Amino acid sequence: MIDATGVTCRYGRPGSGGSDADDGGGLVAVDDVTLSVPDGEFLIVAGANGSGKTTLVRTFNGLVEPDAGTVSVNGAPVSDDLVAARSAVGMVFQDPRDQLVAATVGADVAFGPENLGCSHAEIDRRVADALAAVNMAGREDERIASLSGGERERVAIAGALAMEPDHLVLDEPFTGLDEPARRSVLDRLRALRAAGTSVIVVTHDLRDVLGLADRVVGLSAGRVAVDAAPREAAEELPELDVRVPAAFDDRPADAPAAGETDDP
């Protein structure tokens, strides 16, 4: 379980261009957000550019420290044990350059499990499994520098999957992925959720994921403006400048997600 209570995050100093809600100095990016994500929930965090999505989810593993409020993961405050929080909450960043650390694909995906102290056999299993999930099976020896942007995104996703975290946060994960990779990652997210991992997808375009979600939280100017089941949220989100599938339907989780077919 991830629990955020009264979380407020500010950037910068007074006079740097804050919002109307700016009463504590600087720009208020996240404004008094309270949110619980139960184990096994597939949550979408949606909102327009600059609505505070990335800032909010970065508090879940301590990458951003709230100016007010608390975040706890599996019952423990994030600020008490950053290492535990970062093991429990895997994160795929919007820009893979923020995430890739090694020279080759295999070494990069192995980095997380190595730091967790996994055995060589376990590391090999996790790397192979994670690369298969992003449609890059057998490409361990390729150099990161020679990969395309979309391939780098896929390696970044594989790196987070290989940590096998309790909670997985993906910030705009589908932007550069081709169709087979997108389907493969969606299949894996569906399987993870079924196995009890909470999956949190940050996006301003719900077409890929709305059919998989249990709940949608929509942010506007750092505040929770929508917190609803997908069908209800789909009606409210266009007001937040969030794109929703033209013909959303809530088919069962093992059916193709809305937006995955070519139907008009």
Ligand X SMILES: Nc1ncnc2c1ncn2[C@@H]1O[C@H](COP(=O)(O)OP(=O)(O)OP(=O)(O)O)[C@@H](O)[C@H]1O
Rounded to a whole number of angstroms, the minimum distance from the CB of residue 66 to ligand X is 13
Tell me whether residue 93 or residue 111 sits nearer to ligand X (CB atom): 93
Please tell me what DSSP assigns to residue 154.
H
Tell me whether residue 105 or residue 242 sits nearer to ligand X (CB atom): 242
Binding positions for ligand X, rule: CB under 6 A: 11-12, 27, 29, 47, 49-55, 94, 204
Tell me whether residue 43 or residue 136 sits nearer to ligand X (CB atom): 43
Tell me whether residue 17 or residue 256 sits nearer to ligand X (CB atom): 17
Closest to 221 measured CA to CA, from 50, 6, 35: 50
Rounded to a whole number of angstroms, the minimum distance from the CB of residue 206 to ligand X is 13
Rounded to a whole number of angstroms, the minimum distance from the CB of residue 251 to ligand X is 27
Residue 252's Cβ-side half-sphere holds a number of Cα atoms within 13 Å equal to 3
Closest to 219 measured CA to CA, from 4, 16, 49: 49
Rounded to a whole number of angstroms, the minimum distance from the CB of residue 151 to ligand X is 22
Kindly report the number of other CB atoms within 10 A of residue 252's CB atom.
Answer: 6
Please give the backbone phi and psi of residue 231, each rounded to the nearest 5 degrees, phi first.
-65, -45
> Is 155 strand, coil or helix?
helix
